[in-house]
C-alpha cells in the first residue's frame, strides 16, 4: 500500500502539485488519469523518487520515502519495478540480458538461476522466442512486454507504469492492460498506472484518481466513472460525441 499525504511540488514559482492525498491499495491496479499538464507524471516521478516533493509524505507500507536517506531509498527501490512510456530497454543488451539485469545487480542467484528466472519472466509475457533479439529488432508492443518482464524479475512489491499503452494499437493496448492487471493480482503488487487511455480506465481501473491542475479532482473506480456527476471528469473521459452517446445509453 502506498499513501500520499499532502503532497506539494513546485518548480521555481510554479506549483504543479497542490496537496495530493490518496491511497494506492495492494493487489489493485490504481490509475492516475488527467489531461496533459495536469501533474500526473510529476506525481508519479515524486512517488518513485525521481523528483523530490516540496512538502508532504509518501508512505510505502508505512515507510516515509521522503524522509529516507540515499541508502534507504536505494534499498526500497529494489522493491519497485517500473515500465516507462518508451519502455527504456538498454539498447546494448539483448532481451534476455535486459530481463537479467536487475537480477545481475541485486540477486545472490547463480548465473543459471538468474537465466532461468529471466526466462520464466519472459515466458510469462509470451516472449520466449525473442530472448536473443535486441530491443531495436522487436516491435513497440514487444518492447513493453520485455519492460514488464524486467520490472517483475525481482518480484517487486510496487509496480509503476508510465503510460504503458502510449504508441500502441488498441488491440496490443488491451493485451498490455490485461497482462499488467493479471500480474498485479498474481504477485499481489501495488500497481500505479499513469494513463490517458480510456480503455484502460474502463477495463482495469480498480481504483482511479483524476488529477486536474495539480489537485485531486475525483477518486473512485471503473464502475463509478460512467455515473459520476463530476463535470470535469465526464468532460475528460467522455470527450468525443461517440463516448458521450455511449455514456447516455449506459445511464
Binding site residues, other proteins, CB under 8 A? 48-50, 73-78, 80-82, 84-86, 88-91, 101-102, 105-106, 160
Angle, alpha carbons 85-99-115 (nearest 5°): 170
Q: Which is nearer to other proteins, 138 or 237 (CB)?
A: 138
Q: Which is nearer to other proteins, 75 or 239 (CB)?
A: 75
Torsional sign, CA 120, 126, 129, 133: negative
- Distance, in Å, from the CA atom of 2 to the CA atom of 231, rounded to the nearest integer, reads 28
In angstroms, what is the minimal distance from the CB of 84 to other proteins? 5
Q: Which is nearer to other proteins, 77 or 196 (CB)?
A: 77
Q: Which residues pair with 18 in a beta bridge?
A: 8
Pairing assessment for the beta strands 2-11 and 55-60 based on DSSP bridges: antiparallel
- Which set of grid coordinates corresponds to residue 76? 526500497
In angstroms, what is the minimal distance from the CB of 241 to other proteins? 35
Q: Which is nearer to other proteins, 74 or 128 (CB)?
A: 74
- Distance, in Å, from the CA atom of 187 to the CA atom of 244, rounded to the nearest integer, reads 36
CB count within 10 Å of CB 62 equals 7
Q: Which is nearer to other proteins, 121 or 201 (CB)?
A: 121
In angstroms, what is the minimal distance from the CB of 223 to other proteins? 32
In angstroms, what is the minimal distance from the CB of 105 to other proteins? 6
- Distance, in Å, from the CA atom of 160 to the CA atom of 190, rounded to the nearest integer, reads 8
Q: Which is nearer to other proteins, 125 or 237 (CB)?
A: 125
In angstroms, what is the minimal distance from the CB of 102 to other proteins? 5
- Distance, in Å, from the CA atom of 141 to the CA atom of 107, rounded to the nearest integer, reads 28
In angstroms, what is the minimal distance from the CB of 203 to other proteins? 25
90 vs 94, 153, 164, CA distance in Å? 8, 15, 17
Q: For 126-146, b where at least 16 C-beta lie within 10 A, e where not — what string?
A: ebeebbeebbeebeebbbbbb
In angstroms, what is the minimal distance from the CB of 163 to other proteins? 12
Q: Which is nearer to other proteins, 65 or 210 (CB)?
A: 65
Amino acid at each position: 500500500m502506498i499513501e500520499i499525504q499532502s503532497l506539494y511540488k513546485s518548480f521555481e514559482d510554479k506549483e504543479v502539485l497542490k496537496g495530493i492525498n490518496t491511497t494506492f491499495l495492494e493487489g489493485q491496479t490504481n490509475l492516475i488519469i488527467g489531461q496533459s499538464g495536469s501533474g500526473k507524471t510529476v506525481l508519479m516521478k515524486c512517488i518513485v523518487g525521481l523528483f523530490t516533493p516540496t512538502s508532504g509524505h509518501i508512505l510505502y507500507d508505512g515507510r516515509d520515502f521522503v524522509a529516507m536517506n540515499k541508502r534507504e531509498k536505494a534499498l526500497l527501490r529494489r522493491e519497485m519495478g517500473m515500465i516507462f512510456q518508451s519502455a527504456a530497454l538498454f539498447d546494448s543488451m539483448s532481451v534476455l540480458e535486459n530481463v537479467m539485469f536487475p537480477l545481475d545487480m541485486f540477486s545472490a542467484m547463480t548465473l543459471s538461476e538468474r537465466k532461468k528466472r529471466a526466462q520464466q519472466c519472459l515466458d510469462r509475457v509470451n516472449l520466449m522466442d525473442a530472448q536473443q533479439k535486441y530491443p531495436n529488432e522487436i516491435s513497440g508492443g514487444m518492447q513493453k512486454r520485455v519492460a514488464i518482464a524486467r520490472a517483475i524479475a525481482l518480484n517487486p512489491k510496487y509496480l509503476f507504469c508510465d503510460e504503458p499503452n502510449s504508441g500502441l494499437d488498441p488491440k496490443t493496448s488491451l493485451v498490455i492492460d490485461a497482462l499488467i492487471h493479471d500480474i498485479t493480482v498474481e504477485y499481489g503488487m501495488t500497481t500505479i498506472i499513469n494513463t490517458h487511455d480510456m480503455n484502460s480506465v474502463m477495463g482495469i481501473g480498480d481504483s482511479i484518481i483524476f488529477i486536474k491542475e495539480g489537485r485531486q479532482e475525483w477518486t473512485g473506480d471503473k464502475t463509478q466513472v460512467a455515473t459520476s456527476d463530476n463535470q470535469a471528469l465526464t468532460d475528460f473521459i467522455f470527450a468525443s460525441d461517440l463516448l458521450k452517446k455511449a455514456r447516455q445509453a449506459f445511464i
